[in-house]
């Protein structure tokens, strides 16, 4: 085979792969569009003020997501309260202060692997440690600790990558002015990396919002007719409320589930949009 024939064959294979990738992308987007149109057509008519303010009920036209929203916000509050300081400080230590040896590489590999572990595994871990061993039961605190374990590797990895992207010239200039390691990290590195860190935090929150499997494992309830008032109270969240409605035979609850999915998607899209905005602003700041 001549060089020209090999070139034409490679070009044909390249074009076929591009076409196949474009076809797969189009099929995925088409399926997503069909699902979104179906959900919107069923759920938009149910979204009103009473849907957000009503308690759950056995009557679909009177049931709302008030307790699920309060439970979800309370759960995220405790999750971030636990995961943020530990995750960010761990990322700072591993990138700026940790020694580069085999143990550090072992820890880094395991943290990266933990970010890809299925969420139900964290649910089983939380059930054994927080619900049973610690005696927290099916409380908001137990769920927050479980979700904190889930998103902590994501925060650590995002923090490390954001700090790693800060140019070394900034550190050297700070050291040249007589600043200490901590002063350089606090006043130079962290402000420059904060956009990337915040992006990782928001993306981890958007993942935690949609988690259902670990919360079911640690005992989140599918029906809570009251507002949780403390960290040891029982709770439910919007994904679990949606799961409960989809298991009901009445068509009205299916409509309620579609409306809940729209609200959950709105939260997720909002958080991801904020993350993209912060990331773009951070990149522009680093570039210029």
pLDDT tens for 210-256 read 788 888 888 777 777 778 888 888 888 888 888 888 888 888 888 88
Q: Alpha helices of 210-237 — where are they, by DSSP H? A: 213-217
For the segment 250-269, the average pLDDT, to the nearest whole number, is 87
Q: Please, are residues 196 and 162 in contact by the beta-carbon 8 Å criterion?
A: yes
Distance CA 86, CA 80 (A): 10
CATH code for the structural domain at 49-286: 1.10.3720.10
Alpha carbons within 13 A on the beta-carbon side of 37: 6
Own/partner long-range contacts of 215-218 (Cβ < 8 Å, ≥24 apart): 215/75, 215/123, 215/143, 215/146, 215/147, 215/239, 215/240, 216/123, 216/240, 216/243, 217/120, 217/123, 217/124, 217/126, 217/127, 218/123, 218/126, 218/127, 218/130, 218/131, 218/138, 218/142, 218/143, 218/146
Mean pLDDT for the stretch of residues 127-153: 89
Q: Please give the mean pLDDT across all residues of the chain.
A: 84
The residue ranges of every structural domain in the chain are 2-46, 49-286
| pLDDT score at 225 | 78
CB 279 within 8 A of CB 66: no
Q: How is residue 168 annotated by DSSP?
A: H
Residues 6+ apart with CB under 8 A from 165: 193, 196, 286
**pLDDT tens, position by position, 35-67:** 889 888 888 888 888 888 888 888 888 888 888
């Amino acid at each position: 085979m001549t060089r020209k024939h090999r070139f034409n064959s490679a070009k044909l294979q390249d074009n076929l792969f591009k076409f196949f990738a474009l076809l797969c992308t189009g099929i995925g987007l088409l399926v997503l569009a069909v699902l979104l149109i179906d959900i919107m057509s069923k759920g938009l008519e149910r979204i009103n003020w009473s849907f957000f303010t009503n308690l759950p009920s056995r009557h679909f036209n009177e049931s709302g997501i008030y307790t699920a929203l309060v439970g979800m916000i309370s759960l995220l509050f405790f999750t971030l309260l636990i995961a943020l300081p530990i995750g960010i400080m761990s990322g700072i230590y591993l990138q700026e202060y940790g020694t580069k040896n085999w143990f550090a590489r072992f820890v880094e590999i395991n943290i990266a692997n933990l970010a890809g572990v299925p969420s139900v595994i964290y649910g089983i871990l939380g059930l054994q440690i927080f619900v049973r061993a610690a005696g927290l039961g099916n409380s908001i605190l137990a769920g927050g600790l479980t979700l904190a374990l889930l998103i902590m590797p994501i925060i650590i990895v995002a923090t490390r990558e954001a700090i790693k992207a800060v140019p070394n010239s900034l550190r050297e200039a700070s050291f040249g002015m007589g600043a200490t390691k901590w002063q350089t990290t606090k006043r130079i590195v962290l402000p420059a990396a904060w956009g990337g860190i915040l992006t990782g935090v928001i993306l981890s929150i958007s993942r935690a919002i949609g988690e259902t499997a670990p919360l079911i494992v640690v005992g989140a309830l599918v029906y809570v007719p009251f507002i949780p008032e403390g960290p040891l109270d029982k709770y439910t969240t919007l994904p679990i409320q949606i799961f409960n409605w989809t298991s009901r035979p009445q068509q009205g609850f299916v409509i309620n589930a579609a409306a809940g999915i729209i609200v959950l998607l709105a939260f997720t899209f909002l958080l991801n949009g904020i993350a993209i905005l912060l990331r773009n602003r951070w990149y522009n700041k680093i570039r210029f």
